[in-house]
Amino acid sequence: MADRPPLPYDFLPSVPAFTVTSEDVTHDGHMADKHVYNSFGMSGDNVSPQLSWSGFPAEAKSFAVTCYDPDAPTGSGFWHWIVIDIPATVTSLPAGAGAASGARLPAGAFHVRNDYGSLDFGGAAPPAGDPPHRYVFAVHALDVETLGIDSSVTPAVAGFNLRFHTIARGLLIPVYGH
């Protein structure tokens, strides 16, 4: 829709695109309750979807995965998930990799605090009556093995570091509304 907020990547330097797929969500498809938050008046299961990626540059030294809602009524969108320092040999995350325990993340990868204030995947939770929100799952191919940040940084600081090290990006954008 033309009146929707832009994606955060519209303001960054253009990079090549690659393919992101999922066994759980589809581009423009409605997300299941499995991926909905379990607070803020929502009663979902808060499980991050399975994601796979391919077609990225061979020079990629690591990956990061983010999930952002540009339609959140905040003036600044809403960061639902940030995973940093995924090794370049890893090309998928299983469903539930966003659990706070980090047990389903590859060795060396970690969560950055999301806008719910937690170190995990925070599912969809748009206000009742809003048009369906877009949930932008982005996989960033990076030119470094580690971003040199830790889990205490804000999503903005993580995004600042991603901006300077992303050499390609793949997007998958499902929606959710109720």
Closest by Cα among 18, 21, 104 to 60? 18
Q: Which two tokens stand for residue 16?
A: 């090549």
Residues recorded for the chain: 178
119-152 pLDDT per residue, tens: 999 999 999 999 999 999 999 999 999 999 999 9
Distance CA 78, CA 155 (A): 9
Query: Counting runs of H as helices and runs of E as strands, what totals does the chain give?
Result: 1, 10
Closest by Cα among 33, 60, 20, 76 to 176? 33
pLDDT at residue number 1: 47
pLDDT at residue number 23: 98
Distance CA 115, CA 83 (A): 13
Q: Say whether pLDDT at 2 is over 70.
A: no
Percent of the chain's residues with pLDDT above 90 = 93
When pLDDT is cut at 50, 70 and 90, the band that residue 43 belongs to is confident
Q: Where are the domains of the chain?
A: 15-176
When pLDDT is cut at 50, 70 and 90, the band that residue 68 belongs to is very high
- Residue 10 has φ and ψ, to the nearest 5°, of -65, -20
46-64 pLDDT per residue, tens: 999 999 999 999 999 999 9
Taking a C-beta distance cutoff of 8 angstroms, is the pair 74, 29 a contact? no
Distance CA 28, CA 165 (A): 28
Q: Say whether pLDDT at 84 is over 90.
A: yes
C-alpha distance across the termini of the chain, in Å:
18
Closest by Cα among 62, 101, 98, 103 to 82? 98
Taking a C-beta distance cutoff of 8 angstroms, is the pair 64, 140 a contact? yes
pLDDT at residue number 42: 83
Percent of the chain's residues with pLDDT above 70 = 99
pTM of the model: 0.96
15-176 belongs to which homologous superfamily?
Answer: PEBP-like (3.90.280.10)
When pLDDT is cut at 50, 70 and 90, the band that residue 168 belongs to is very high
User: Mean per-residue pLDDT for 66-71?
Assistant: 98
17-30 pLDDT per residue, tens: 999 999 999 999 99
Q: How far is CA 169 from CA 18, 115, 152, in A?
A: 6, 22, 24
